[in-house]
Amino acid sequence: MPQLFSPRADARLRVALALGAGALVMAAAAGFVYVRSDRAWRVGVAAPQPIPFSHAVHAGGIGLDCRFCHAGVERQAAAGMPTAETCLGCHRQVWNVAAQFAPLETALALQVPVPWASVHRLPEHVRFHHGAHTAAGVACESCHGQVWTMPRTVKAETLSMAFCLGCHRDPAPRLRPAEAVFSRDWQPGSASQPTPADAATPRLQHFGVEIPALTRCSTCHR
Ligand code: HEC
Ligand code: HEC
Ligand code: HEC
Ligand code: HEC
Ligand code: HEC
């Protein structure tokens, strides 16, 4: 039987196959790295807002408490968003740039919520409750980062399932005493605070935290 392909053609085919397989592996690896990157989770990406609101000015500079505008955080599932009245209470007097605040006046006139864009939505199948976390001693900072330094609001953590479980498997070292939940300079084990290791067990008991329940699928999924 005569040779159909020259030895050179055979060699070329082998090289081509090897390169093709290599490229597939590289593409799969790149995809794997990307879906796990902060970029895929939109960490650090701001959303277009109806008004260029700045937490750095209001929560940082002026020093307003988070609860002034997000009044639900201590008891409700949703943190809640400020109404037009909350802003206009100050902005009809100071810094009244009418054009900039037009979306607020419109919302007020139509009696609808201000259309703030969210950077933190979880998928429909996930359950979340702010009040449960605040009451257990979890600070806003644990999930939202140092919001009071942000000129534009961005996601500071992925809020992926792995992120949630990272704490739910062992929350004790991340919990604060009740009076420090809204503090902006609290450090674990600082000053008169007990160290997390010593504090863990009594604090878990104090807050009634039960670890196995926190990692059950039904805790977070509907
Ligand atoms: C003066 C009112 C005001 C105060 C005080 C305030 N916020 Fe906000 N917050 C807003 C407004 C308005 C938005 C929507 C616009 C934006 O995202 O910038 C917002 C958005 C957010 C979001 C994003 C919500 C989403 O759906 O993605 C988080 C998280 C947040 N605030 C946390 C905080 C924390 C933590 C504090 C305290 C350090 C705080 N805020 C203090 C008014 C306020
Ligand atoms: C306690 C009073 C108070 C409340 C409530 C308040 N503001 Fe302000 N805001 C101020 C002051 C004071 C300034 C000016 C800060 C400065 O001089 O840098 C300001 C500045 C601003 C600016 C322009 C400055 C900048 O650089 O971002 C915008 C836009 C703004 N506020 C939007 C809002 C919105 C939207 C709300 C409601 C969610 C709100 N403010 C609630 C007091 C307030
Ligand atoms: C354990 C993590 C965690 C902590 C702690 C936390 N948040 Fe959130 N926050 C989230 C998640 C997750 C969402 C998105 C919720 C959703 O899509 O159902 C969210 C959404 C928000 C929103 C959007 C609007 C809404 O009504 O929910 C605001 C505002 C907010 N958080 C403010 C705060 C403030 C202020 C604190 C501190 C008192 C805080 N959060 C503490 C995880 C957290
Ligand atoms: C820094 C620690 C921490 C992080 C991060 C965290 N949690 Fe929790 N979570 C807790 C603690 C502590 C409790 C227990 C509260 C209790 O026992 O009352 C809890 C309770 C819950 C509950 C039960 C609420 C209820 O009604 O009793 C749900 C649901 C939940 N977490 C969802 C989430 C989701 C979803 C995320 C990620 C977006 C998340 N948690 C991130 C610490 C955390
Ligand atoms: C502490 C809260 C928490 C617990 C406990 C938890 N999950 Fe999740 N899970 C999440 C969050 C948050 C997301 C959504 C992440 C995203 O896509 O934004 C998620 C997403 C998922 C998804 C979709 C994955 C995807 O890529 O979109 C599946 C499937 C899932 N979880 C299964 C489970 C199973 C099975 C268990 C029990 C072994 C479990 N989860 C326990 C928080 C939790």
- pLDDT tens sequence across 25-64: 999 999 888 887 887 888 888 888 888 999 999 999 999 9
The answer, yes or no, to whether any atom of ligand 2 lies below 6 A from the CB of 100, is: yes
Name the average pLDDT for the chain: 86
Average pLDDT over residues 169-183: 90
Give the pLDDT band of residue 198 (cuts 50, 70, 90).
very low
CA of 91 from ligand 2 middle (Å) equals: 7
27 and 133 co-located in one domain: no
Number of structural domains (the chain) is: 2
27 and 75 co-located in one domain: no
Residue-level pLDDT at 193: 46
In single-letter form, the type of residue at position 155 comes to K
167 and 214 co-located in one domain: yes
Of 31-40, 129-138, 172-181, 188-197, least confident by mean pLDDT is 188-197
Give the predicted TM-score (pTM) of the model.
Answer: 0.88
Average pLDDT over residues 155-182: 92
Residue 139 in domain: yes
29 and 124 co-located in one domain: no
Residue minimizing CA distance to atom 42 of ligand 1: 69
